[in-house]
Structure 1
Amino acid sequence: MDQFLAFGVVGLSTAAIYAVIGSGLVLTYVTTGVFNFAHGAAGMLAAFAYWQLTAGWGWPVPVALAAVLLVLAPAFGLLVERVLLRPVQHLGEAERMVMMVALLSGLIAAARWIWDPNVARPLPAFFADRTPFRAGPVTVTWHQALTMAVAVAVAAGLWALLNRTRSGAAMRATVDDRALAGLTGADPVRANQVAWVLGTQLAAVGGILIAPAVALDAQQLSLLIVSAYTAAIFGRLRSLPLTFLGAVVVGCLESYLTGYLPQNPYLPGLRLAAPALLLFAALLLFPHRRLRGRDRRLARVPLPSRRGALVFAASVAAAGVVLATVLEGDDLVTFGPLFPLGMVALSYVPLTGYAGQISLCQLSMAGIGAVVWAHLGADGRPWALAVAVLVAAVAGALIALPALRLSGVYLALGTAAFAVVLDRWVFTLPSFDVLGVRIALFEQGSLEVSGPSLLGARLDGERETIVFSAVCLALASLGVAALRRGRFGRRLIALRDSEAAYATLGGRPLVARVAVFALGAGIAGLGGALYGMQLRTITADQFSLVAGLPVFLIAVIGGLGYVGNGLFSGTAFTGPNILLGPASWTQNLVAVLPALAGMGLGHSPDGLLARLRRDWEPVARDRIAMPVLALVLALAWLLRVADAVGGWALLAGVLAAALALREYAASRTRSAAEPEVPVEWWGVRRPWRAEDGEVLARGIAQG
């Protein structure tokens, strides 16, 4: 009994920290309508700053605490509100969520850049020099007592703020209707600023309190937010008492699993994955009100032409041949993941771009495909690639089944929880038997991966694998383009626009969601198998939630409705490694770049591919510029293969020629531009276009 009570005290002290962090999360959401995925990362950054001031620079603890909680944390909260969120208030919920995911990824990368993750940084507990005191049969440390006292003070203070002050009423009113709140004399901007300052301070308090009990690691501290997510979902993102109750459940569950979980090689990861499992269960079991804030912003999904899709697919395959023939040595290894990661990014196009289903576990699906290929395709069996796609698709369908009642932020949380469960538990399992079938994953280590055998030839070198991956990406892009042009693609877009209207017109939303989840997971699984072929050796860490965030961000930055997103994302993910070089500081910069680009999403919410398409479409349509550009590219390739010119000089020359041809084609287009024709004269004063029918239908529906 004494042991049970002792674990209970530990659980309650941990729960107090989760309650503090979760209450800050609820405060931010209730008052601003933004779900802060980077809440835990803000606490992580505060913990590192506190360590730097105390252990690194020798500041007194009270001074360091005042500096972090009263200066750095409020300044960071104001910076996030002013620079990131205020410019995107007019955008939809999905765009603001992407901004927070970008901030999470960026803070983790920045912390690893500033503080070397290979250096241990122990942080002592508060009042560690004082003797613990007895509370009946249980010994309680002063740090634990302080933690629980802080949680009680936070609960009382937040309740009084939100329910007994004019500022709290103004903060809650702002998210419902900013204009109406302003008419009553409230200041919406000031209310948001106060909410972000308080939320960031609570995250900082939680991060500093929990850091002595865990390793001061950027990723681990940031993902502790999963436990706070669970507590906030218990409170349905609006009730502070229920949030504190959820924190108690999570904290005690972790503590008792640590003390009473049987010694079994299959169970250690269960304790680490327990908060994510509980989060998933809470999302499914608890009733949720409709998410607050504005509806997501509906963007038109471009309709690729058959000719354009074929030309693009041929260009992707040609790009693979060019890279395989002109690159050498380390450059081949660096550019190897371009097409496989592009395949993973392409999986977001039908899933999120067409159907509007947000998933943060696509790289985890890629990990499933990589594992299946590593075990079944060891001898190059080509059929194993189809099995890898099928198994990943089944896993995607299984995710969709329990997540059918989720949408928006809740769906993103559910898929993130699933990715964490895979990271912390499933991928760490040793081999096991299911109905007499031996199931092996990463074997608690790494797996060797080889290339396939096709037509009697083994594609096992870097060059062969690059070409094979490029051909696979080209075929997958053709398939996604055909999907967009087909009936199922139109149904997915209708499902995204209005699920209720889709069901009213005879559609089956549940079947469509399961199908598109399976399709997206299958594409990602193929990308994972190709990724393993390029890496040769794979580990579970390469397919974690944190590793997948940059891929998600780059795909969003490109534009989730565009078939060319795969090639764009792969190039954007691998290109900076070549441009900036292999130095350690440049690698840290490369890790931060996707997050920085994601934070700039508000300036181009439709994605960069929309802008690139507008800029380069005149070249593609010009009968002179396009053949000349193709001739320039072919000549440049031949010169590089013959080693007649250096790579950087060749790249500069090709870019200069391409820009000159773009300006030439744009000038010809401007001179031949036809006048704007009113919509009622389409098909009369100008020829009817394939996309005109969809444009008219969408305009009538939104009008």
Structure 2
Amino acid sequence: MDQFLAFGIVGLSTAAIYAVIGSGLVLTYVTTGVFNFAHGAAGMLAAFTYWQLSAGWGWPVPVALAVVLLVLAPAFGLFVERVLLRPVQHLGEAERMVMMVALLSGLIAAARWVWDPNVARPLPTFFADRTPLHWGSVTITWHQVLTMVVAVAVAAGLWALLNRTRTGAEMRATVDDRALAGLTGADPVRANRVAWVLGTQLAAVGGILIAPAVALDAQQLSLLIVSAYTAAIFGRLRSLPLTFLGAVVVGCMESYLTGYLPQNAYLPGLRLAAPALLLFVALLLFPHRRLRGRDRRLAPVPLPSMRGALLFAASIVVVGVVLATVLQGKDLITLGPLLPLGMVALSYVPLAGYAGQISLCQLSMAGIGAVVWAHLGAHGQPWALLVAVLVAALAGALVALPALRLSGVYLALGTAAFTVVLDRWLFTLPSFSVFGVRISLFDQGSLEVSGPSLLGLRLDGDRELMVFSAVCLALVSLGVAVLRRGRFGRRLIALRDSEAAYATLGGNLLVARVAVFALAAGIAGFGGALYGMQLRTITADQFNLVAGLPIFLIAVIGGLGCVGNGLFAGTAFVGPNILLGLASWTQNVVAILPALAGMGLGHSPDGIVPRLRRDWEPAARDRIVLPALLCALALAWLLRVLDAVNGWVLLVGALVVASALRAYAAARRDSPAEPEIPVEWWGVRRPWRAEDGEVLARGIARG
């Protein structure tokens, strides 16, 4: 009984921290309608800053706390509200969520840059020099007492603020209808500002209180927010009392699992994954109100022509051949994952771009494909690659089934929880048997991966794998383009536009969502198998949630509805790694680039790929510029193959020539302005285009 009480005290003290963090999350969402995925990262940053001031520079603890909680945390909250979120306030829910995911990824990368993750930074508990309290045989530290007192004070203060003050009424009214709240004399900007300041302060309090109990690690502290997510979902993102109840459930569950979970090789990861499992169950079981700020800004999905899709597929193959013949040594190894990870990013196009389903577990699906290929394709059997795709597709379908009632933020949370469960538990399991079938994942270590054998040839060299990956990405990109032009692609876009209308008109939501999740997971699994071939050795850490966030960000930045997003995302994500050969410090710059690009999403909400297409279309259609550009690039490639120039001269020269020719083509095209032709004269005064039919159909439907 004494042991049970001791673990209960530990659980309640942890629950108090989760309650503080979760209440800040609920406060921000109730007031602004934005789910702050970076809430835990803000607490992590506050904990590191507090350590730097108190332990690193020797400041007195009260002064360090005052600076962090009363100066730096409010300033950071104001920065997020003013610089990051206010420019995208008019955009949809997905864009605001991407901004928060970018902030999460950026804060983790920035913390690793400033504070070396290989250096231990112990943080002492508060009042460590005072004699603990004793309740029978149970010992209670003053740090635990402080934590519980803070949690109670936060609960009382937030309830009074939201229900007994004019500022609280403004904060609650703003998210329901900003314009109407403004007409009543409320200030929506001030309400949002107050919410972000208080929310960031609560995250800082939670981060500082929990840091002494765990390692001061950027990723671990940021992902502790999963437990606070669970508490907030218990409160259905609006009830502070239920959020505190959820925190108690999570904290005590973690504590009692630590004390009473049987000791064997299969269960240690369960304790780490338990909050994510509970989050997933809570999302499925608890009723949810319609999400506030639901996205009604639906961007059109480009309709690729077959000629353009074929040319683009051929271009991917050419890119692969050029990279395989131009790159050498470590540069070839560094850029090897470019095309495989591009395929993982391409899986977001049918899933999020066409069907509007937000998923944060695509890199985990890639990990499943890599594991299956590593075990079954050890001798290069081509059929093992097909099995890897099918197993990943089956995993995607299994994720889709319980997630059928989730959408928007809830779906993103559910898929993130699935990723955490895989990373912390399932991927760490040793080999086990199911109905006599031996199943082995990473087997608590790393896996050796080899290339395939095709037509009697073993593709196991870096150059061969680069070309093979290019051919695979080209075929999958062509397939995604065909999907967009087909009936199923149109159904997916209708599903994105309105699930209710889709079902009313006879569409089967179950079949459509399961099919698109399976398709996207299969594409990601294919890319994961190719990724493993390039790396030669894979570990579970390469497929965790934090590793997958930058790929998701770059896919969104590129434009989720564009078939060319795969090549763009792979190039944007892996391409900057070439800088690592210049100086070691560039590793931190490369790590933070995706987050910075994601934070700039408001300047190009429709994606970069459509903009690039518009900018380069004059050169592609010019009968003089296009042949000149192709000849210049071919000459540069030949000079590099003959070793007449090095790689940097080739890259800079090609960019300069291409940019000059593009500017020349744009000038030639802009000289005589072509008058706009009314819709009723399409096909008469100008040739009929492939996309005109869909444009007219959408116009008639809106009318």
TM-score (norm 2): 0.99
SS of residue in 2 equivalent to 1:433: strand
Aligned to 1:19: 19
Aligned to 1:281: 281
- Tell me how far apart the structure 2 counterparts of residues 664 and 299 of structure 1 sit (CA, whole Å): 31
Q: Equivalent residues in 2 for 1:55-204 (5 A)? A: 55-204=55-204
Aligned to 1:655: 655
Does the 8 Å CA contact 2:368/2:528 hold for their aligned counterparts? yes
- Tell me how far apart the structure 1 counterparts of residues 24 and 699 of structure 2 sit (CA, whole Å): 41
SS of residue in 2 equivalent to 1:59: coil
Distance 1:702 1:147, change over 3 A: farther
Answer yes or no: is 1:484 the counterpart of 2:484: yes
Q: Equivalent residues in 2 for 1:632-647 (5 A)? A: 632-647=632-647
Aligned to 1:425: 425
Aligned to 1:676: 676
The Cα offsets for residues 451-500 of structure 1, whole Å up to 9 and x where unpaired, read as: 01111111111111111111110011000000001110011001001111
Amino acid at match of 2:671: S
Deviation at 1:701, TM superposition (A): 3.6
- Tell me how far apart the structure 1 counterparts of residues 349 and 260 of structure 2 sit (CA, whole Å): 45
Deviation at 1:580, TM superposition (A): 5.6
Aligned to 2:594: 594
Deviation at 1:561, TM superposition (A): 0.5
Deviation at 1:136, TM superposition (A): 4.4
- Tell me how far apart the structure 2 counterparts of residues 312 and 68 of structure 1 sit (CA, whole Å): 52
- Tell me how far apart the structure 2 counterparts of residues 299 and 581 of structure 1 sit (CA, whole Å): 39
Deviation at 1:309, TM superposition (A): 0.5
- Tell me how far apart the structure 1 counterparts of residues 628 and 486 of structure 2 sit (CA, whole Å): 34
SS of residue in 1 equivalent to 2:139: strand
SS of residue in 2 equivalent to 1:438: strand
Deviation at 1:444, TM superposition (A): 0.4
Distance 1:406 1:294, change over 3 A: closer
Deviation at 1:694, TM superposition (A): 1.6
Does the 8 Å CA contact 1:94/1:296 hold for their aligned counterparts? no
The Cα offsets for residues 67-119 of structure 1, whole Å up to 9 and x where unpaired, read as: 00000100000000000000001000000000000000000000000000000
The Cα offsets for residues 589-618 of structure 1, whole Å up to 9 and x where unpaired, read as: 100000000000001000111110100011
Aligned to 1:445: 445
Deviation at 1:658, TM superposition (A): 1.1
- Tell me how far apart the structure 2 counterparts of residues 509 and 672 of structure 1 sit (CA, whole Å): 49
Does the 8 Å CA contact 1:299/1:606 hold for their aligned counterparts? yes
Aligned to 2:260: 260
Deviation at 1:296, TM superposition (A): 4.1
Deviation at 1:670, TM superposition (A): 2.0
Aligned to 2:238: 238
SS of residue in 2 equivalent to 1:649: helix
Q: Equivalent residues in 2 for 1:546-625 (5 A)? A: 546-579=546-579, 581-625=581-625
Query: Is the deviation greater in 631-640 or in 104-113?
Result: 631-640
- Tell me how far apart the structure 2 counterparts of residues 625 and 422 of structure 1 sit (CA, whole Å): 51
What's the C-alpha RMSD, in Å, of the aligned pairs? Answer: 1.1
TM-score (norm 1): 0.99
Aligned to 1:494: 494
The Cα offsets for residues 646-701 of structure 1, whole Å up to 9 and x where unpaired, read as: 22222222222211221222223223542112233333433332212222232344
Amino acid at match of 2:185: G
Does the 8 Å CA contact 2:369/2:529 hold for their aligned counterparts? yes
Answer yes or no: is 1:388 the counterpart of 2:406: no
- Tell me how far apart the structure 2 counterparts of residues 600 and 32 of structure 1 sit (CA, whole Å): 20
Aligned to 2:699: 699
Does the 8 Å CA contact 2:87/2:602 hold for their aligned counterparts? yes
Deviation at 1:624, TM superposition (A): 2.0
- Tell me how far apart the structure 2 counterparts of residues 192 and 702 of structure 1 sit (CA, whole Å): 34
Distance 1:673 1:308, change over 3 A: farther
Deviation at 1:271, TM superposition (A): 0.3
Amino acid at match of 1:416: A
- Tell me how far apart the structure 1 counterparts of residues 702 and 428 of structure 2 sit (CA, whole Å): 49
Amino acid at match of 1:157: G
SS of residue in 2 equivalent to 1:605: coil
Amino acid at match of 1:584: S
The Cα offsets for residues 11-34 of structure 1, whole Å up to 9 and x where unpaired, read as: 000000000000000000000000
In structure 2, list runs of 5 or more residues that go unmatched.
none
Amino acid at match of 1:437: V
- Tell me how far apart the structure 2 counterparts of residues 406 and 18 of structure 1 sit (CA, whole Å): 24
The Cα offsets for residues 509-560 of structure 1, whole Å up to 9 and x where unpaired, read as: 1110000000000000011000001101100000000000000001111101
Aligned to 2:469: 469
Amino acid at match of 2:154: V
- Tell me how far apart the structure 1 counterparts of residues 537 and 392 of structure 2 sit (CA, whole Å): 20
The Cα offsets for residues 379-401 of structure 1, whole Å up to 9 and x where unpaired, read as: 11111100000000000000000
Answer yes or no: is 1:435 the counterpart of 2:404: no
- Tell me how far apart the structure 1 counterparts of residues 18 and 647 of structure 2 sit (CA, whole Å): 53
Does the 8 Å CA contact 2:345/2:565 hold for their aligned counterparts? yes
Amino acid at match of 1:96: R
- Tell me how far apart the structure 2 counterparts of residues 540 and 580 of structure 1 sit (CA, whole Å): 23
- Tell me how far apart the structure 1 counterparts of residues 218 and 582 of structure 2 sit (CA, whole Å): 23
Does the 8 Å CA contact 1:46/1:73 hold for their aligned counterparts? yes
- Tell me how far apart the structure 1 counterparts of residues 251 and 296 of structure 2 sit (CA, whole Å): 34
Q: Percent identity?
A: 88
Deviation at 1:702, TM superposition (A): 4.0
Aligned to 1:222: 222
Deviation at 1:254, TM superposition (A): 0.3
Answer yes or no: is 1:366 the counterpart of 2:359: no
Amino acid at match of 1:319: V
Aligned to 1:664: 664
- Tell me how far apart the structure 2 counterparts of residues 173 and 245 of structure 1 sit (CA, whole Å): 25
Amino acid at match of 2:124: P
The Cα offsets for residues 360-379 of structure 1, whole Å up to 9 and x where unpaired, read as: 00000000000000101111
Does the 8 Å CA contact 2:301/2:562 hold for their aligned counterparts? yes
Query: Is the deviation greater in 624-633 or in 37-46?
Result: 624-633
Does the 8 Å CA contact 2:579/2:586 hold for their aligned counterparts? no
SS of residue in 1 equivalent to 2:671: helix
The Cα offsets for residues 154-182 of structure 1, whole Å up to 9 and x where unpaired, read as: 00000000000000000111111111111
Deviation at 1:504, TM superposition (A): 1.4
- Tell me how far apart the structure 2 counterparts of residues 180 and 582 of structure 1 sit (CA, whole Å): 55
Aligned to 2:37: 37
- Tell me how far apart the structure 2 counterparts of residues 326 and 684 of structure 1 sit (CA, whole Å): 48
- Tell me how far apart the structure 2 counterparts of residues 128 and 424 of structure 1 sit (CA, whole Å): 32
SS of residue in 2 equivalent to 1:584: coil
Amino acid at match of 1:220: Q
Deviation at 1:147, TM superposition (A): 0.3
- Tell me how far apart the structure 1 counterparts of residues 683 and 500 of structure 2 sit (CA, whole Å): 33
SS of residue in 2 equivalent to 1:336: coil
Distance 1:697 1:345, change over 3 A: same
Aligned to 2:631: 631
In structure 1, list runs of 5 or more residues that go unmatched.
none
Aligned to 2:412: 412
The Cα offsets for residues 619-646 of structure 1, whole Å up to 9 and x where unpaired, read as: 1112222122112121211111111122
Amino acid at match of 2:617: E
